[in-house]
Amino acid sequence: MRDKSSRLAGVLGAALFGLFIGLFAACNYAPAPNGAYDAASTDDCLPAVSLIDQNGNRVSLASLKGEPVLVDFIYTSCPGPCSTLTSKLVTVANSLGTRLGPRVRMVSISLDPENDTPQKLKEYAERLGADHAGWLFLTGTPRQVDHVLARFKLRRMREADGSVTHMETLFLLGPDGRQRRIYNGVEVKPAVMSAEAEQLAARG
């Protein structure tokens, strides 16, 4: 009887130890949501570069510091992937509601500044339902855009047909302008981006 009790105690002890290890792992090494990754760069991604928004206003990226910023890169004649990214961010914008602008900002920067005028960006935003207050669509000179892309460790390549090859990547920046999360635009769910942006905003 004693041996049986000892064996039972041993089994229970092993089970509790396994549960403890499982909880420890869950608390400290929880996997990232699909398509969401920790930032690899510590560069300031909101430099003092002045771009032009969809309404023709000059905006210094540095002026956007103070709140979390969701950033992606698109262009208005993109054959498909850009509108997919924008549509996901429309869902994020709708989820944020009145918090978009005062608590979380969103920025879409053109990868085709040679052709994307403020008016084209405005029409693109309106066509996709992305004309929300607190969401900027920005363009500038090619040199300015390339300078900003370099801060994100990205670059654009012009193909022979005029299209622009680029990564379908989104970024969540902290109030200091530095990357906190990187999102795979194909895999990530809008709910993940909105939740993480709101959590970052709540931390101040």
The confidence score (pLDDT) of residue 166 equals 75
Residues 64/141/70/101 CA torsion (nearest 10 deg): 40
147 and 198 housed in the same domain: yes
Phi, psi of 4 (to 5 degrees): -65, -40
**CB 169, CB 154: distance < 8 Å:** yes
With left for phi above 0 and alpha for psi between -120 and 50, is residue 110 left, alpha or beta?
beta
Low-confidence ranges of the chain (pLDDT < 70): 1-32, 204
7 and 97 housed in the same domain: no
The confidence score (pLDDT) of residue 46 equals 98
Domains held by the chain: number: 2
160 and 174 housed in the same domain: yes
17 and 115 housed in the same domain: no
Distance CA 2, CA 162 (A): 81
The confidence score (pLDDT) of residue 167 equals 78
The confidence score (pLDDT) of residue 201 equals 94
21 and 102 housed in the same domain: no
Write the pLDDT tens digit of every residue in 108-135. 999 999 999 999 999 999 999 999 999 9
The confidence score (pLDDT) of residue 30 equals 47
The confidence score (pLDDT) of residue 31 equals 53
The confidence score (pLDDT) of residue 24 equals 31
Its domain, for residue 19, covers 1-30
Closest Cα partner for 107 from 143, 140, 78?
140
8 and 108 housed in the same domain: no
The confidence score (pLDDT) of residue 70 equals 98
Helix %, strand %, coil % of the chain (to 5): 40, 25, 35
